[in-house]
């Protein structure tokens, strides 16, 4: 029996352990079956980590199978993005990529088998009538007037559907189960519908396409899946999953297990609503850094390590819950705090002139990480004129203010102690320059006379500063559960993106896209993969240094 190296357990792993111990299975096979009609989001990451993680831990197999049965909404670009996301997260599927369309011929023949057994029929009710006849949660459905057609007539009509002799919506194939069932999904569900749409793999070979519930279980069986893992909204579908497999001639019968889907605060995880955001241009696209898609998170600077750790922390249960967004932020902070090199950037610059500096400039050596000498160091120019952040200076301040104050001292990060002597203002009374002096003997040292310097601020040399567009991203929605709002679009946070024109130190000129840096005292940032270039630098804020979002809104 295969043994597993497991970091933690959950009810699904306990089931697998028992199945292996009893000899029910000797090899675990799972699958990840996304629809190629959009980009993967953080909720899919949970399913990816579960399915591929189980296969890894139990030395089993995990298939990547695209549920491509709805050609009107599918695109090869979505296929490629999904493949990239799975690999980016650190996983590799077993064998070749699989598609539900690979099984269109066997699926068709299994549908014919159900018709032959008197368990499926061609219905010519309109879609509206089918919904009406289905009944409700409190009222049973009623039989279609076409339900009692003979096997031969149904076979002939299904072939007519296959040959494109019906218009869309004029006919469909339904399972013949029980229109009075307490489970609505068992009230003669549709197995095939007509769609005259070009398919990304089969082109125009088919004009009838199988429904998800018919396709999924048979695809699982054909691939020898041992544990078919779905989210809780498919719990009722398990009855149909089993019914189909019990009534066709197939030798493998996988079991479906359901777990709770991911619900994340201040986030929408409905693919339909995410698509609406994209189509209505509420965001830049599927990979907008405010989107919960993996491509959006990646562009914002989130790492695969952090997302896998997040999925590990939230676990796998049968109880629906709403995960705080700060849990995801905590994972990326922990990762970047350890692994992101440091740099300096000034987001709202004001000039400082060090009047007693005799040389025009010097070069300082700064560590790339304060606690990891193995990450090396960098050369940073220091000059008579520097930029500091406007919020780091006040003419008058109380004792709690630990930054630069007129007549007082502060330390420049990895540099000298400076003292604010006076200010220059324009005609509007705005400060345009702070005139300072510096203690030449305080380069990374305390003052020789023992005076205490409490504050540390960051800076950038004016002569060497690189102009940069700084994009400050925040939650896309300003309510914790936008999905429950009557109009989720009305809950969009107008401050989800604030753009500033600032300056960064010259070492960041070669910053590769999506490479994370900690901008000292500002947060974690990365160069934008779309817009950043040597001529126009754009940095996206991944996350603040600490959780402050709720505090700023209370």
Give the total residue count for the chain.
554
Q: Are 229 and 30 in contact (CB under 8 A)?
A: yes
Catalytic pick from 134, 176, 271, 471?
A: 271
Task: Read off φ and ψ for residue 97, nearest 5 degrees.
Answer: -60, 135
Q: CA-to-CA distance for 247 and 244, rounded, in angstroms?
A: 5
Q: Which residue's structure tokens are 């995960």?
A: 323
Query: Active site includes 261?
Result: yes
C-alpha distance from residue 122 to each of 152, 323, 500, 501, 526 (Å): 11, 45, 61, 64, 56
* Helix, strand, coil shares, percent, the chain, to 5: 30, 25, 45
- How far, CA to CA in Å, does 548 sit from each of 152, 337, 374, 494? 69, 17, 31, 17
Return the CA Rg of the chain: 31
Tell me which residue of 411, 412, 388, 416 sits closest to 502, measured CA to CA: 388
Residue whose token pair is 């076979």: 155
H or E segment at 537? strand 537-543
Strand, coil or helix: 371: coil
C-beta separation of 510 from 517 below 8 A? no
Strand residues in 339-427 grouped as ranges (E): 342-343, 345-346, 349-354, 361-367, 377-383, 385-389, 393-394, 404-405, 409-412, 417-425
DSSP letters spanning 175-203: E-S-TT-SSGGGSS-EEEEE----BTTTB
Query: Pairing relation of β-strands 417-425 and 409-412?
Result: antiparallel
Q: Is residue 35 annotated as a catalytic residue, yes or no? A: yes
Candidates 80, 77, 47; CA nearest to 62 is 47
Catalytic residue among 261, 273, 351, 515: 261
Query: Residues 6 or more apart from 133 whose CB is under 8 A from it?
Result: 125, 141, 142, 143, 144, 179
CA distance 459 to 440: 17
Name beta bridge partners: 419: 409, 437
State how beta strands 349-354 and 516-519 pair: unpaired
* Given 35, 153, 284, 348, the catalytic residue: 35
Report the sign of the C-alpha dihedral through residues 70, 73, 79, 81, in that order. Answer: negative
What's the CA gap between 322 and 207, in Å, rounded?
Answer: 41
The C-alpha atoms of residue 115 and residue 247 are separated, in whole angstroms, by 11
Catalogue the active-site residues: 35, 261, 271
């Amino acid at each position: 029996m295969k043994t597993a190296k497991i970091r933690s357990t959950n009810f699904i792993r306990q089931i697998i352990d028992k199945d292996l111990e009893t000899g029910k299975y000797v090899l675990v096979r799972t699958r990840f079956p996304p629809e190629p009609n959009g980009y993967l989001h953080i909720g899919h990451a949970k399913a990816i980590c579960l399915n591929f993680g189980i296969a890894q831990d139990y030395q089993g197999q995990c298939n990547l199978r695209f549920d491509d049965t709805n050609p009107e909404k599918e695109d090869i670009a979505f296929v490629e993005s999904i493949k990239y996301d799975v690999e980016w997260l650190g996983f590799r599927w077993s064998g070749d990529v699989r598609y539900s369309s690979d099984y269109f011929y066997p699926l068709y023949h299994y549908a014919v088998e159900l018709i032959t057994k008197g368990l499926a029929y061609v219905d010519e009710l309109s879609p509206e009538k089918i919904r009406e006849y289905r009944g409700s949660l409190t009222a049973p459905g009623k039989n279609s007037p076409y339900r009692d057609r003979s096997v031969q007539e149904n076979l002939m009509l299904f072939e007519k559907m296959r040959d494109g002799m019906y218009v869309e919506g004029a006919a469909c194939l339904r399972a013949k189960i029980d229109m009075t069932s307490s489970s609505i999904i068992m009230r003669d569900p549709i197995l095939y519908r007509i769609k005259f749409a070009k398919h990304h793999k089969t082109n125009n070979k088919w004009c009838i396409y199988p429904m998800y519930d018919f396709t999924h279980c048979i695809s699982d069986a054909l691939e020898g899946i041992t544990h078919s893992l779905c989210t809780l909204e498919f719990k009722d579908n398990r009855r149909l999953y089993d019914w189909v497999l019990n009534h066709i001639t197939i030798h493998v019968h996988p079991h479906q297990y359901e777990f709770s889907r991911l619900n994340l605060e201040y986030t929408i995880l409905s693919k339909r609503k995410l698509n609406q955001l994209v189509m209505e241009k509420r965001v830049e696209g599927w990979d907008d850094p405010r989107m919960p898609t993996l491509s959006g998170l990646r562009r914002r600077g989130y790492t695969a390590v952090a997302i896998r750790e997040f999925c590990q922390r939230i676990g796998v249960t049968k109880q629906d819950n709403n995960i705080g967004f700060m849990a995801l932020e905590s994972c990326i902070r922990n990762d970047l705090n350890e692994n992101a090199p440091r740099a300096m950037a000034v987001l709202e610059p004001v000039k400082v002139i060090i009047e007693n500096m005799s040389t025009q400039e010097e070069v300082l050596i700064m560590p790339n990480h304060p606690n990891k000498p193995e990450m090396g160091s960098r050369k940073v120019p220091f000059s008579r004129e520097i930029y500091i952040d406007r919020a780091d200076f006040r003419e008058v301040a109380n004792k709690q203010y630990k930054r630069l104050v007129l007549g007082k001292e502060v330390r420049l990060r990895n540099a000298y102690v400076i003292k604010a002597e006076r200010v220059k203002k324009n005609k509007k009374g705005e400060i345009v320059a702070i005139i300072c002096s510096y203690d030449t003997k305080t380069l990374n040292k305390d003052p020789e006379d023992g005076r205490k310097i409490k504050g540390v601020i960051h800076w950038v040399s004016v002569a060497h500063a690189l102009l940069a567009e700084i994009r400050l991203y925040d939650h896309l929605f300003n309510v914790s559960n936008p999905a429950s709002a009557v109009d989720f679009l009305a809950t969009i946070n107008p401050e989800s993106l604030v753009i500033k024109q600032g300056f960064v130190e010259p070492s960041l000129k070669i910053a590769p896209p999506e490479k994370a840096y900690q901008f000292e005292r500002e947060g974690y940032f990365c160069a934008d993969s779309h817009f950043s270039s040597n001529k126009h630098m754009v940095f996206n804020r991944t996350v603040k240094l600490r959780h402050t979002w709720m505090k700023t809104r209370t």
